[in-house]
Structure 1
Amino acid sequence: MPRPSSRFAAWLGPGAIVGAGFVAVAASPGFAQTPAFGTDSAEEPGLFAPAPDASGARFRPGSPTAAAPDGRTTFGTGDGETAPSGSQPRSTTTAATGFDSRNARRPRVPQSLTQRQQEAARLKKAPVPPTLTPGTNPQEIPVVVPGRLRRRGGPDIDTTSRLNVPTTATIPRRSPRPEEDPYAPLGIRTGAFTLRPAIEVTTGYDSNPTRIQGLAGSGFTTVAPELIIRSDWQRHQLNADLRGTYTWYGQTYPPVSENAGTVAASATPEVIDRPTMDSRVTGRFDVDRLSRFEGEARALISTDNPGSPNVQTGLKRFPLVTTVGATLGHVQQFNRLEVTTKGTIDHQMYSDSLLSDGTTSSNADREYNQYGGSLRVGYELKPGLRPFVESGADTRVHSQKIDRNGYDRDSTGVYAKAGSTFEFSRKLIGEAALGWLWRFYEDDQLTTMSGLTIDAALTYTASDLTTVKLIGTTRASEIIVPGLSGVFSRDVTLQVDHAFRRWLIGTARIGTGIDDYVGSDRLDHRYLVSIAMLYKLSREVQLKGELRHDWLRSNLENADWDATTVTVGLRLQR
């Protein structure tokens, strides 16, 4: 074998000496290792592979055999002998693995910090009790009740198990918040108010816009702007609902008049375009938890309904009817008893009628002021059910004492009704009431108006996709026909909304109404059937379509009519 060069020997010489020394130390009895996986293991661990501790939290070489007087654990050589003290390594701890070369005893965690975990583990490992025989009284086992479940000042919670079965108290899960409508308008935030403006443009065809049988139909276009304002205060409230419409018709009509007895059966203006407006501002001032003030200011604009006996003969267009008024009330609660008092004032005025020949006719005799008040007492029988009784009175004072036909139409009205408000788990909300109304006229020639009143506004959520609404209203309207006191009207409408998709909602509506002309035998029955579809393109854009049929059946000759309306519309909202 050739002799290595002097440079290679100089490099190999110190390494060979260190390697030989390391092999000698490893072969010594003090560093002998026992198999980590038993004698039947296929392969023993390597020279430096540590054996796991019993707790599995740290590792040490070899296995412990005895504890030294100073608390350190000695390591056996594999033959039951104790390793010399000089073979124990110095104190070295690796933070990554938790390995302690001294194998010093780990400090115990105070039991107070792990008391709940230990108690839970003890209950989890508790044996299943044997079958109990009748008449026995097994030992009671305490139950762990977290402090957050204990109510201050309330009765103590029973912390024992009568059946000797460990139990734990559970926290009731909160019902999930309803998912926000992904197509609802977000509005515009301005200080403490949220503004939701919108405008809707509808076009369509009405087979009988004058509500007089035999006249031609007409296409029409309606523009309806609106602005909804909502406050966001912790106390008090101030809201506003501002809505208006204007409808243009493409057809004009010659004046029509047809009398039957003392009632004008039909009349129509030449131009039937008309506006409407319904604007209301409501507010609430919270005095304290049991007392508050409520108020409303309103402004309404409308016209006489097409086909109404109030429509004059020979009109160029409908005169405007404007109503402004306010309501102020106070609500006081006495535990479950609630008392509400309200006062109202309204002023109704008419514009002059423009006739086809260019002249005008005054409607000052139809203007009046109305003052009224009401008292409601309700009692909460249980959450969501508050029955009530309500009574009120009002008086109407006309601007002219005697109207164009020689009648004094000043009157006093009284009503009483009983009903209830509902709010059952958001399934059924609203209120409904039945009552009776009387209206007494100053003129002895006018008959007292009286009858059953129906007032309802109920919303029933049958499912997440279907909603049912029931609306009932009663009105006592003025009239200018000679010999008639007024029109007593009742309307009931049932509406069902179903969401085929979140963005596709169908609506079906049916309704009926009765118009009783007090002072004559005339009685009109009105009906409607409607099917509509709403397609939500986004939060800002919606498409609408509706098919509706209305008809009237009267005991008066030549007063019946039918009308079919088809509309499509576009709604822009923010």
Structure 2
Amino acid sequence: MSLRPQNQKSLLTKSCLTWGLVLGALSVNGVVAQTSPVEFRQSFSLEDNAGEGLELVSESDLEAFESLNEAEDEKLLARPPVATVRAQLTRANRSARATKFSERTEAVMRLSQPANGAERDEGVFDGQTVQDRPVGIHMGSLRLLPSLDAGLGWTDNAEQVRGGTPDGFYGLDAAVAVISDWDRHALGVELRGSLRAFFDEPDNNQPVVTGLANLRLDLGGSTRADFEGGYSFSREQRASAENEVASGPTNSVQEIEGSFSLSRQVSVVQLRGGLGINRSVYDGQSSGSGQRDNTVFTSSLRASFDNGAMFEPYLEGGFLVRKYDHDCNGDPTCLDRTSGGYSVQAGLRVDRGPKLRGEFGVGWRAEYLDDARLDALQGLIFDGAFVWSPTRRDTVTMSGATSFNATNISGASGSILYAGDVRYARQITQDLVGDIQLGYTYRTYQGVDVVEQEASGSIGLVWAFAKDAAILSRYTFQAFDSSSAESDYTSSLVEAGLRIRR
């Protein structure tokens, strides 16, 4: 199924305008770059002689560049926890906070980090402005990193439904993170709350609360243990097939997750075993919202082969059990969606230093439901992400993920969501950064003829005008298409504000 012609035309127009603005900015910046004392890296190439054709720089140029790197390295110590690439991509039917470019870059770098916890190359531009880069407040062997974003905006479709009404809003995003400054091991905790509050209709407000924590224990030169936990609160979008609320606030969605993994390198083989738990709780006005409450238990084992080459193959497999809270209690009309299943995946991890890094895998996942009247929830899975850094001022991320989700739609076993996006960030100057994003999601429900698609694009600009402050601006366009009647819509949103962080 494809986007409707009117939505395609609108998205194409917005995308062409967006790319025109970006290309124009790059053309102007190309002139400025000719006089910059910082020498750019050669564009990505798989040739062995990466320095061929590059002009030599003067000693004064090298000293200026090295001093800039030293200043940046001192500030790059602060690394709060971030959600995984899959978590960032697969919250498609919820009013989640937009992922920042730096968060996506950090998540991809951690995804491709070796199992032995080796330090990675810091030569990738992460989309951050230099002057107000967070350094934190020292608290003994810990660092505190506070931040606050506040701004105003306007959208032509506050409800995010067909025929939605325009409305203005104010937005707040407050976060505090604590990270360790230890020689061994690592600890990170972040609490964040954001709110998009509309002036005319508060039922459309979008509150989001998240909490993340991780602990890495270095048990030896080739062994490490990782503990991770997370919590999120958000609301479902009105156009989602799961939403049953016609007026008033939509259902809330809470997720609580935790995982433990143990990694060890034996010769050229890296082994990682893990256990995980993910609980989802739905609450709202509809009587059936609680029927989706469920808990997923997972176990996995991954073997990767690191022989020092640029491409590192891996194999991964695991088992899962999904337990629903709702009990049929002998009701013959009730559908028991409790299930058990497995997943298998094979892929490659790519490590070409700061030029190109990431991994991508393809496999199969299946969940077999206890109720024989329901089809198995199964399908192709792909997961992975890459960071490509063609120059010191440009970074591109490419990400994809698959998610299997619960449902209470009659006759449906669940839904499978495929999500992917491409992002590009450009350091126009040290204190002026622009980025652009294009994304697409495809959700299909097993057992019923319901398909949802969404295409999105956004362009943003950040200017750091002081040591701890920056001005933010962003334009976002969305086009949603569903096989459910009267559910497709388009929306445009523009917002600007102030960011303060330490």
TM-score w.r.t. length of structure 2? 0.71
Match of 2:169 among 220, 240, 255: 220
Provide the residue aligned with 1:474 in structure 2: 402
Are 1:423 and 2:351 counterparts?
yes
Match of 1:550 among 459, 468, 478: 478
Aligned pairs (5 A) from 1:109-508: 176=66, 178-179=69-70, 180=72, 181-252=130-201, 271-351=203-283, 353-354=284-285, 361=287, 363-382=289-308, 385-402=311-328, 406-508=334-436
Provide the residue aligned with 2:114 in structure 1: none
* Per-residue deviation, 1:420: 2.5
- Aligned residue pair count: 379
Provide the residue aligned with 1:153 in structure 2: none
The residue type equivalent to 2:341 in the other structure is: G
* Per-residue deviation, 1:325: 2.4
* Per-residue deviation, 1:305: 2.4
Please list the CA deviations of residues 148-204 of structure 1 after superposition, one character each: whole Å capped at 9, or x if unmatched: xxxxxxxxxxxxxxxxxxxxxxxxx99958351443122101111122110111321
Please list the CA deviations of residues 402-439 of structure 1 after superposition, one character each: whole Å capped at 9, or x if unmatched: 39972111122321112233332222223222222212
User: Secondary structure of the equivalent of 1:365?
Assistant: helix
The residue type equivalent to 1:205 in the other structure is: W
* Per-residue deviation, 1:343: 0.4
Are 1:510 and 2:438 counterparts?
yes
Cα distance in 1 between the residues matched to 2:450 and 2:229: 36
* Per-residue deviation, 1:557: 4.0
User: Secondary structure of the equivalent of 1:271?
Assistant: helix
User: Secondary structure of the equivalent of 2:442?
Assistant: strand
Moved over 6 A (4+): none
Please list the CA deviations of residues 442-465 of structure 1 after superposition, one character each: whole Å capped at 9, or x if unmatched: 112222122222212211111111
Determine which structure has more spread, i.e. the larger CA radius of gyration. Answer: 1
Cα distance in 1 between the residues matched to 2:353 and 2:361: 21
Aligned pairs (5 A) from 1:22-37: none
* Per-residue deviation, 1:497: 0.3
Cα distance in 1 between the residues matched to 2:487 and 2:450: 10
User: Secondary structure of the equivalent of 2:239?
Assistant: coil
Provide the residue aligned with 1:541 in structure 2: 469
Contact 1:247–1:275 (CA under 8 A) maintained in structure 2 = yes
* Per-residue deviation, 1:293: 1.1
The residue type equivalent to 1:492 in the other structure is: G
Cα distance in 2 between the residues matched to 1:200 and 1:413: 42
The residue type equivalent to 2:222 in the other structure is: L
Change (3 A) 1:176 1:420: farther
Structure having the larger proportion of residues in helix: 2
Provide the residue aligned with 2:56 in structure 1: none
* Per-residue deviation, 1:555: 4.1
Q: Mean alpha-carbon deviation: is it higher for 494-503 or for 443-452?
A: 443-452
Contact 1:401–1:410 (CA under 8 A) maintained in structure 2 = no
Provide the residue aligned with 2:16 in structure 1: none
User: Secondary structure of the equivalent of 1:558?
Assistant: coil
Provide the residue aligned with 1:95 in structure 2: none
Q: Mean alpha-carbon deviation: is it higher for 464-473 or for 555-564?
A: 555-564
Cα distance in 2 between the residues matched to 1:485 and 1:478: 8
Change (3 A) 1:182 1:247: closer
The residue type equivalent to 1:311 in the other structure is: N
TM-score w.r.t. length of structure 1? 0.62
Change (3 A) 1:499 1:437: same
* Per-residue deviation, 1:315: 4.8
Cα distance in 2 between the residues matched to 1:244 and 1:431: 31
Cα distance in 2 between the residues matched to 1:235 and 1:343: 24
User: Secondary structure of the equivalent of 1:440?
Assistant: strand
Change (3 A) 1:201 1:402: farther
* Per-residue deviation, 1:243: 2.3
The residue type equivalent to 1:228 in the other structure is: A
Structure 1: tracts of 5 or more residues without a match: 1-172, 253-269, 356-360
Aligned pairs (5 A) from 1:5-154: none
Cα distance in 1 between the residues matched to 2:134 and 2:311: 32
* Per-residue deviation, 1:384: 5.1
Structure 2: tracts of 5 or more residues without a match: 1-61, 73-129
Please list the CA deviations of residues 95-139 of structure 1 after superposition, one character each: whole Å capped at 9, or x if unmatched: xxxxxxxxxxxxxxxxxxxxxxxxxxxxxxxxxxxxxxxxxxxxx
Provide the residue aligned with 1:569 in structure 2: 497
Change (3 A) 1:366 1:556: closer
Contact 2:245–2:251 (CA under 8 A) maintained in structure 1 = no
Provide the residue aligned with 1:43 in structure 2: none
Cα distance in 2 between the residues matched to 1:229 and 1:406: 47
The residue type equivalent to 2:361 in the other structure is: A
Contact 1:185–1:539 (CA under 8 A) maintained in structure 2 = no
Are 1:560 and 2:492 counterparts?
no
Contact 1:370–1:397 (CA under 8 A) maintained in structure 2 = yes
Change (3 A) 1:376 1:443: same
Contact 1:242–1:279 (CA under 8 A) maintained in structure 2 = yes
* Per-residue deviation, 1:524: 2.5
* Per-residue deviation, 1:217: 2.0
Cα distance in 1 between the residues matched to 2:450 and 2:215: 42
Please list the CA deviations of residues 240-286 of structure 1 after superposition, one character each: whole Å capped at 9, or x if unmatched: 2322212212233xxxxxxxxxxxxxxxxx81223212211111111
Cα distance in 2 between the residues matched to 1:553 and 1:547: 20
* Per-residue deviation, 1:370: 1.7
Cα distance in 1 between the residues matched to 2:258 and 2:450: 34
Cα distance in 2 between the residues matched to 1:474 and 1:428: 23
The residue type equivalent to 2:208 in the other structure is: T
Q: Could you say which structure has the greater relative contact order, defined with CA pairs below 8 angstroms and 6 or more residues apart?
A: 2
Cα distance in 1 between the residues matched to 2:350 and 2:275: 25
Task: Name the Cα RMSD after superposition.
Answer: 2.4
Change (3 A) 1:191 1:383: farther
The residue type equivalent to 2:324 in the other structure is: H
Contact 1:274–1:318 (CA under 8 A) maintained in structure 2 = no
Cα distance in 1 between the residues matched to 2:253 and 2:488: 26
The residue type equivalent to 2:259 in the other structure is: T
